[in-house]
Structure 1
Amino acid sequence: MASDTGAADLEGSVEDLRRRLSRVWETLRGVDIDVRPFRPGRDGPLATFDVPEGEREIDRYWVNAPYAYVVVTYDDADSEHRYYAVEPDLDRFERDLLDRVVDDIRDPLLYREGTGKTDAATLRGELESLLESYGVDAGMDTFHALTYYLYRDFRGYGRVDPLLNDRHIEDVSCDGYDLPIFVYHDEYTDIQTNVSFGKQELDNYVIRLAQQSGRHVSVGDPIVETTLPDGSRAELALGEEVTPRGSAFTIRQYAEDPFTPIDLVEYGTFSIEQMAYFWLCIEHNKSLIFAGGTASGKTTSMNAVSMFVPPRAKVLTIEDTRELSLYHDNWLSSVTRERRYEGTDIDMYDLLRSALRHRPEYIIVGEVRGDEAITLFQAMNTGHTTFSTMHADSIETVINRLENEPINVPRAMVQSLDMLSIQTLTRSGDQRVRRAKTIGEIGGIDQRTGELDYSSAFEWDAESDEFRRNDSSLMDEIADERGWSRSELLREIERRERFLELLRALDVTDYRTFTALVNEYYADPERVMDRLESRADGTAADDGDRRGDVTAGGERAADADRR
């Protein structure tokens, strides 16, 4: 028995020595790797996942096919969902190989001219050369797995990359060392992931995020608010001085293309009637503030209704971090700047004062919270139309915040504000939804009480999840300005509501197309309405033909529709 064991050990040692000698020989002579596109059917899956015991799979979808996908499970014992980011599998040899490749590839990429444009093809070429020089005859599964991790770490967002590629995720939150990252998922709300960072990894990652966005973070200056290259908004904290559990970050994602008014109607945030109301008010230079709590959709709503701004009107936006995106020819965007090594800070107050010298017709300010509010309301009083956001949960709270520390806008100036939209993030049934709780109109100062009058043009009924329309003094003002009778005003409102209904029926949600059609409406409303009606009639006729085919036994068409 002992002799058999010894023979087996000797045989294993000889085999190991043979493999080493073979590897040395391959390294000396080199190899040629025949790189080709990854073929899942032939090369097999790159990433595998086994559902943990006690959990059951709820959902599975790609976030970066064919490399990374997401599995959502449900733990019945804890009554909670879990989120698993699944990336290509690497064995020990492949991990060691990846570490060596990363070290050897970094310098050539760093010193090559134009490295800022390093793409997947460049990384594939460098990887192929290195593997051939190592003498590693890698299979396509290993080659493409290594390519994925190189691109993820050099050009992507490292370990968080699958989360930021998930279109269902709005927020990514890391609260400290060795703690699981949480995300806000549009279907499963707040959910724990399988991604976490150790101490050194997390410190380095926070520094990297700051550097990627052109900012500096250090122990002496540990808090940074910035915008990442993909447009996401990031709040970073380094070390344990201000965040005792360790470095932390929150990344808030925005859609690549901004939401249009049609999108917000589809989501139930606003109704068609409310959007037609905003359109008329914005065209007639009524100033507006969107208020609400965190993540209630204030900036998204402001960006969406800004698409109603008349074409060629000069628009100027002022923000701390870039969030607004307009498809407007005459748009000047400005962002605050913090002093780094020399020069001075440029805050929102400075930008707003400068903005007035550009003679804009519309001024859009990211958020009102300090000295800039006085200048903003002075701009309102001198005929500039302004949009902004602020944190408040009711019309009364907005007025109180504006009139008191630290904003301190005189009541006589507050009355130059025309509209307030109060947003809320709430629950409707078993879903978290965003709704415009109230759209209010600011009146004058009551001579008897000295208080500011206001009224509600629209109110949201939580029980029925519907919007109720009330009388609007702003609509009466617009009718007087245009010389419209009551019937002419109602006819124009109904036409714009019909216009928006047609865009909704035709699924016009691209912000460029939406803005172009609104601009066309300003130029010739009858022509664009006729064209949209014809397109809608044609779509309805096609749908009717398809339904007829199915009714007549067109099973193939029915299957295609289901797919």
Structure 2
Amino acid sequence: MKKDIEVSINPIEFSKKLSICSSGEIVASKDKKYLLVNLPELCEKEQNIFQESFKELKQSTKKIENKSDIYFFLKSYCLDNLILLNKEQREKILYWLEIESLNESILTPLLVDPDFEEIVINGPNKPIMVYHRTFGWLITNTQFNSDNKIKNIINKMAAPLGRQLTFHTPLLNAVLKNGSRLNASANPIAFSGINCTIRKFKENPLTPIDIVYSNTISKEVMSFLWLAMQTNSSILVCGNTGSGKTTTLNSLFCFLPKEERIIVVEETPELVLPQNHKIKLNTCDQLEISLEKLIENTFRMRPDRVIVGEIRTKQEANAFINTMLAGQARGSYATFHAESASEAIQRLKTFGIEENSLGCLDLIIVQKRINKIDKKTKTRKEERKVIEVCEVIKSGKEITLNQLFEYNFEKNKLVKKNEGKKIIDKIKKTFSVNEKEIKKMLKEKEKLIEKLYGKVNFQEFFELAEQE
């Protein structure tokens, strides 16, 4: 592609094919990984026809609103200029005319590909980046060649929400109608130039089985969490950015009873619950409705379970802990940024929460995004792992952590460290069973996870879990 086309394809030499996805081919070259997006390349003749027709299209007084208008324009242009195109040539030129004139985007194949979690535009003349759930960051062979083109794409996505990226509003955070999260910034605050990040919304959430077979967590630990979720236990899932803590927490909601009333409070809609008896609330900056206010509002909604998407501030943390101290719900759940269970406790204490108040928490799960390097191939791979599961034990006015499971990096697996106390006691009371019977229940859950692998989706798993 020549420079005067605002979207370009960059040729990439590669040494190894890694995989094929719906939007293109994933390849490797030395220590880098690329996505070769399936976009039609134009030969010199096609390029000239495209450029001349596009110039005329921009100068045309005819209203161009859709793909049909583009088609008839190109047909008329070719007749007027005695140009004969075969079907393949016509489709390629139409494709690029649609992208350039309708603000159709080369992002489209990336947005619909289920394997990509994030799409990043770092500015003009820089390759678009995507985050693949298996291969991590990939450099694409496509880029935008102007600030205006990037701004037009961003504003087209944000327009249905009544939002625009301008000089006076150079920072944009929005949730698109498909649930994806859009973040963009431009001058004067974006020193390196206009940029955009799209975090895609998962329409089909991962089941607990998916989490197990992606090697994020073991069957043993997932079976334990299955029983814990069915008791009146409150859980905090911690981890670094992009560690998959929200995905893991979301999978656990398959274990909640069908008839319970669940209130979900989020800043950005990410959680998908299989239950019908639920209310989802989102913050609204324009109306000054904060996450803290929404958490406090759950007091008046008679919830059985309260779910907070992510706790970030002192006010949010205090409101979340207060809901548990008030005993208004059977269980409360949230995600939180912390690298370990002990760090989570320390961070909550720095938010002004008294140590003895933290005893209302039952479990802290810690998940991390880990870089793995294959010794033979020297290739780098990113994995998400649950590295710690701890009980929060209250003793007088102090809090201690009982580490139940810890990830052993040498053995590459979660290993049991200590027997459960608090949760085991809750399971005994909930199911009226002894420890021997609990072990049998856990084994049955493990076998069911094995049996259902690859056979059920999120909703189907929920229906089956309800019967167990």
TM-score of the two chains, using structure 1 as the length reference: 0.71
**Aligned pair partner of 1:205 in 132, 147, 153:** 153
Contact 2:266 2:309 in 1 (8 A): yes
How far did residue 221 of structure 1 move?
A: 2.9
Counterpart residue number, 1:444: 394
CA distance in 2, matches of 1:303, 1:127: 44
| Alpha carbons of structure 1 residues 165 and 276: separation in structure 2 relative to 1, 3 Å | same
How far did residue 159 of structure 1 move?
A: 2.8
Counterpart residue number, 1:402: 348
Matched, 1:63 2:22: yes
Counterpart residue number, 1:353: 296
Counterpart residue number, 2:50: 94
Q: Which amino acid aligns with 1:63?
A: S
Give the secondary structure class of the aligned counterpart of 1:196. Answer: strand
Contact 1:131 1:138 in 2 (8 A): no
Contact 1:428 1:462 in 2 (8 A): no
CA distance in 2, matches of 1:106, 1:255: 40
How far did residue 98 of structure 1 move?
A: 4.9
Counterpart residue number, 1:552: none
Contact 2:70 2:98 in 1 (8 A): no
Larger mean Cα displacement after TM superposition, 509-518 or 266-275: 509-518
Query: What is the CA deviation profile of residues 469-503 of structure 1, one whole-angstrom value per residue up to 9, with x for unaligned ones?
Result: 23011112320343322222222222222222221
Q: Which amino acid aligns with 2:448?
A: F
Query: What is the CA deviation profile of residues 26-72 of structure 1, one whole-angstrom value per residue up to 9, with x for unaligned ones?
Result: xxxxxxxxxxxxxxxxxxxxxxx99656x4352573535xxxx3463
| Alpha carbons of structure 1 residues 124 and 215: separation in structure 2 relative to 1, 3 Å | closer
Counterpart residue number, 2:3: none
Larger relative CO (CA 8 A, sep 6+): 1 or 2? Answer: 2
Query: What is the CA deviation profile of residues 144-203 of structure 1, one whole-angstrom value per residue up to 9, with x for unaligned ones?
Result: 335544666789861323333443332222223433333333444333323333222233
CA distance in 1, matches of 2:434, 2:259: 28
Q: Which amino acid aligns with 2:170?
A: P
| Alpha carbons of structure 1 residues 188 and 103: separation in structure 2 relative to 1, 3 Å | farther
Give the secondary structure class of the aligned counterpart of 2:142. Answer: coil
CA distance in 1, matches of 2:298, 2:63: 44
CA distance in 2, matches of 1:127, 1:191: 33
How far did residue 290 of structure 1 move?
A: 0.6
Larger mean Cα displacement after TM superposition, 300-309 or 377-386: 377-386
Contact 1:402 1:408 in 2 (8 A): yes
Aligned CA-pair RMSD: 2.8
Contact 1:152 1:161 in 2 (8 A): no
Counterpart residue number, 1:377: 321
Q: Which amino acid aligns with 1:94?
A: F
**Aligned pair partner of 2:27 in 72, 93, 101:** 72
| Alpha carbons of structure 1 residues 303 and 214: separation in structure 2 relative to 1, 3 Å | farther
**Aligned pair partner of 1:433 in 359, 362, 383:** 383
Matched, 1:225 2:173: yes
How far did residue 247 of structure 1 move?
A: 1.1
CA distance in 2, matches of 1:102, 1:62: 35
Counterpart residue number, 1:298: 245
Contact 1:263 1:509 in 2 (8 A): no
Matched, 1:453 2:404: no
Q: Which amino acid aligns with 1:444?
A: K
Larger helix proportion, structure 1 or 2?
1
CA distance in 1, matches of 2:160, 2:99: 14
Give the secondary structure class of the aligned counterpart of 1:316. Answer: strand
Map of 1:239-388 to 2, 5 A cutoff?
239=187, 241-339=188-286, 344-370=287-313, 371-383=315-327, 384=329, 385-388=331-334
Overall identity of the aligned pairs, in %: 24
| Alpha carbons of structure 1 residues 460 and 415: separation in structure 2 relative to 1, 3 Å | same
Query: What is the CA deviation profile of residues 390-410 of structure 1, one whole-angstrom value per residue up to 9, with x for unaligned ones?
Result: 110011110111111xx3222
Give the secondary structure class of the aligned counterpart of 2:302. Answer: coil
CA distance in 2, matches of 1:286, 1:153: 54
Q: Which amino acid aligns with 1:490?
A: K
Counterpart residue number, 1:392: 338
CA distance in 2, matches of 1:290, 1:408: 20
Q: Which stretches in structure 1 are left out of the alignment for 5+ residues?
A: 1-48, 110-122, 526-563
Matched, 1:238 2:186: yes
Counterpart residue number, 1:112: none
| Alpha carbons of structure 1 residues 204 and 106: separation in structure 2 relative to 1, 3 Å | farther
Give the secondary structure class of the aligned counterpart of 1:97. Answer: helix
Give the secondary structure class of the aligned counterpart of 2:107. Answer: helix
Give the secondary structure class of the aligned counterpart of 1:158. Answer: coil
| Alpha carbons of structure 1 residues 95 and 135: separation in structure 2 relative to 1, 3 Å | closer
Query: What is the CA deviation profile of residues 531-561 of structure 1, one whole-angstrom value per residue up to 9, with x for unaligned ones?
Result: xxxxxxxxxxxxxxxxxxxxxxxxxxxxxxx
How far did residue 368 of structure 1 move?
A: 0.8
Please identify the structure whose Cα radius of gyration is greater.
1
Contact 1:317 1:363 in 2 (8 A): yes
Contact 2:184 2:195 in 1 (8 A): yes
Q: Which amino acid aligns with 1:424?
A: K
Matched, 1:83 2:39: no
Counterpart residue number, 1:118: none
How far did residue 345 of structure 1 move?
A: 1.5
| Alpha carbons of structure 1 residues 195 and 260: separation in structure 2 relative to 1, 3 Å | same
How far did residue 104 of structure 1 move?
A: 6.8
Contact 1:428 1:465 in 2 (8 A): no
CA distance in 2, matches of 1:159, 1:50: 13
Contact 2:363 2:390 in 1 (8 A): yes
CA distance in 1, matches of 2:128, 2:227: 44
Larger mean Cα displacement after TM superposition, 171-180 or 351-360: 171-180
Counterpart residue number, 1:466: 413
Matched, 1:489 2:433: no
How far did residue 349 of structure 1 move?
A: 1.3
Counterpart residue number, 1:545: none
How far did residue 212 of structure 1 move?
A: 4.8
Map of 1:526-545 to 2, 5 A cutoff?
none
Matched, 1:479 2:428: yes
Q: Which amino acid aligns with 1:435?
A: K
Q: Which amino acid aligns with 2:383?
A: V
TM-score of the two chains, using structure 2 as the length reference: 0.85
Q: Which amino acid aligns with 1:182?
A: M
Q: Which amino acid aligns with 1:233?
A: R
**Aligned pair partner of 1:422 in 355, 358, 366:** 366
CA distance in 2, matches of 1:247, 1:93: 31
